[in-house]
Chain A
Amino acid sequence: AQKITQTQPGMFVQEKEAVTLDCTYDTSDQSYGLFWYKQPSSGEMIFLIYQGSYDEQNATEGRYSLNFQKARKSANLVISASQLGDSAMYFCAMRDGGGADGLTFGKGTHLIIQP
């Protein structure tokens, strides 16, 4: 069975600093995908970034990058130059290559950016 662990329930970060949100995963599949979603206080789920298990390069999307360490089974999200609008819940999720089910989510990290 797949499992996602996010060990940081909450984080406070100063504006303009870089932030790393931790995510470790467990799966027996060789092919899988890792995702990060942002959930602002308004409640919607916003897709941020994707990393495939066979991708050799770390994924990047604007200020977001994914620090993928396959041997350690970690997929940390890095937000560069944090902004007040980055304050939100962040969820790490994964999907296996069989594609039979939906996403498996972690419990999330509540990020608060302080001015």
Chain B
Amino acid sequence: DADVTQTPRNRITKTGKRIMLECSQTKGHDRMYWYRQDPGLGLRLIYYSFDVKDINKGEISDGYSVSRQAQAKFSLSLESAIPNQTALYFCATSEGTGAQETQYFGPGTRLLVL
């Protein structure tokens, strides 16, 4: 079984709809992240969490919210989806500390907002 799973893997939704992307991990890591990837660009950080009670905004948090339900679960919500949120979304977990912290990514969720 994969260490980091994301559901759904693909989703089509309409403008204005609420949508939740879920991430689960079995690696036992405390730190979890949400990134988005747009064509021709690298990944950009949306939100990150160092533990259940610690949630932090990343570079592009506007229009998104997150919930850390447990150490192993980290969900990303789009309260009112818009077309420019069409992207590939990745969840990641990490081990280590500071600069040595290696991040391991889930398989990604392809989201299309019509």
Contact = CB atoms under 8 A, between A and B. Distances in A.
Interface of A: 4, 29, 31-33, 35, 37, 43-47, 50, 52-53, 91, 93, 95-103, 105-108
Contacts of A44: 105-108
Contacts of A47: 102-105
Given A43-B107, A44-B107, A53 B99 contact: yes
Given A4-B42, A101-B45, A108-B42, A43 B108 contact: yes
The interface centre, meaning the residue of A32, A44, A96 with most chain B CB atoms within 10 A of its CB, is A44
Given A43-B107, A44-B108, A97 B99 contact: yes
22 contacts: A4-B42, A31-B98, A31-B99, A33-B101, A35-B102, A43-B88, A43-B107, A43-B110, A47-B103, A50-B102, A52-B100, A96-B99, A98-B98, A99-B99, A99-B101, A100-B56, A101-B45, A101-B48, A101-B56, A102-B35, A103-B103, A107-B40
Interface of B: 33, 35, 40-45, 48, 56, 58-59, 88, 90, 92, 97-108, 110
A72 B88 CA distance: 33
B58 A95 contact: no
Contacts of A99: 97-99, 101
10 interchain residue pairs of minimum CB distance: A105-B42, A33-B99, A45-B105, A102-B45, A97-B99, A99-B98, A105-B43, A97-B98, A102-B33, A32-B99
